[in-house]
Structure 1
Amino acid sequence: MILIFSLSILIIFISNIMMFLSVILSKKSFKDREKSSPFECGFDPKSSARIPFSLHFFLITMIFLIFDVEIALIFPMISSFKLVNFFIWTKMSFFFLLILLIGLYHEWNQNMLNWTK
C-alpha cells in the first residue's frame, strides 16, 4: 500500500514538473507585428487574406454528399437481389428511388442545382 502511494506521489510530482517546464519553455518573449501578419512576397498585403465564403458552393457540396451517401446505400440493394424475395426487393427499390427522385425534384424546384446565380 505504501509502495502504491509513493509511486502515485512520484508520478504526480514528475508530471507537474513536466507541465511547469512546458509552460516556461513555450512562452513567446514578444509579439511582432510582422510575424503575425500574412506574408506576401515581402510586401504588405493589398487585400484581405480571407476569401469570402460562398454559401451556394456549400449548398452544392451538401447536395453532392447527400446523393453520394444515397448511392452508397444503393450498392447493397444490388447485392441483395438474389437473397430476398423479388416482389419485396422491387417495392423497396422503387420506394428508395422514388424518395431520391422527389429530393432531386425539390432541389431542382428550389434552383439549388444552378452553378451560378
Structure 2
Amino acid sequence: MNAEVSPAANLLPLIIYFGAILLITAAMLGGAYLLGQRHRAQAADEPFESGIVPTGDVHIRFSVHFFLMAIFFVIFDMETVFLFAWSVAVKQAGWMGFFEASMFIGILIATLIYLAAIGALDWRTRRQRRDAPVNRP
C-alpha cells in the first residue's frame, strides 16, 4: 500500500528553513541594534562619502576607456569559464576537444592582438599620443 504524501508535507522542510532564516536575520539585526554604538555626527546623514562631507559634484564623467576595459575584462574573463569547463571534461573531450580549445584560445589571442593594433588598449588621449616622442632606432 503506497501512502501518498501531501503537498504540504513536501513543503515542510522549506517552511522550516525559511522560518530559521527569518529568525536568524531578526536576531542579527536586533543584536546589532541593541549592542551597537549610538553616535550622531552632522555629516553622518550625508548620502555619499560614508559620513565624510562630500566635495565636488557627484556627476563625474568617466572616460570611455574605463568602460572599454570593463567590457574587455568581461569578454576575456569568459575565456576562463569556458576553459575551466573544458579542463573538467578533458578526458571525455579527447583530442578533438583539445583542438577546439586550442582554436578558441587562438581566436582570443588574435582578438587581443587586433585590439592592441587598433589602439583600443591605449589609455592615452589624442593629445598625449600626438605629443609623445617618437622612439625610432
Q: TM-score, normalised by structure 2?
A: 0.47
Structure having greater relative contact order (Cα 8 Å, sep ≥ 6):
1
Q: Where does residue 80 of structure 1 map in the other structure?
A: 89
Find the aligned partners of 1:65 and 1:54 in 2 and give their Cα distance: 18
Larger radius of gyration: 1
Find the aligned partners of 2:98 and 2:82 in 1 and give their Cα distance: 15
Tell me the CA shift for residue 63 of structure 1. Answer: 0.4
Find the aligned partners of 2:114 and 2:58 in 1 and give their Cα distance: 37
| Aligned residue among 97, 101, 108 for 2:116 | 108
Residue 86 of structure 2 contacts residue 101 of structure 2 at CA under 8 Å; is this kept in 1? yes
The DSSP-based 3-state class of the residue aligned with 1:82 is: helix
Q: Where does residue 41 of structure 2 map in the other structure?
A: none
1:94 paired to 2:94: no
Residue 90 of structure 2 contacts residue 98 of structure 2 at CA under 8 Å; is this kept in 1? no
Tell me the CA shift for residue 83 of structure 1. Answer: 1.2
Tell me the CA shift for residue 82 of structure 1. Answer: 0.8
Deviations 1:35-79 (A, max 9, x none): xxx9x959xx7x533111221111011001110112111101111
* Superposed counterparts of 1:19-30, under 5 Å: none
Tell me the C-alpha RMSD between the 2 structures.
Answer: 2.4
Find the aligned partners of 2:75 and 2:93 in 1 and give their Cα distance: 27
Structure 1, unpaired ranges of 5+: 1-37
The DSSP-based 3-state class of the residue aligned with 2:90 is: coil
Q: What code does the residue aligned with 1:48 have? A: D
The DSSP-based 3-state class of the residue aligned with 2:92 is: coil
- Runs of 4+ off more than 4 Å: none
Q: Where does residue 68 of structure 2 map in the other structure?
A: 59
Tell me the CA shift for residue 98 of structure 1. Answer: 1.0
Residue 115 of structure 2 contacts residue 121 of structure 2 at CA under 8 Å; is this kept in 1? yes
Q: Where does residue 31 of structure 2 map in the other structure?
A: none
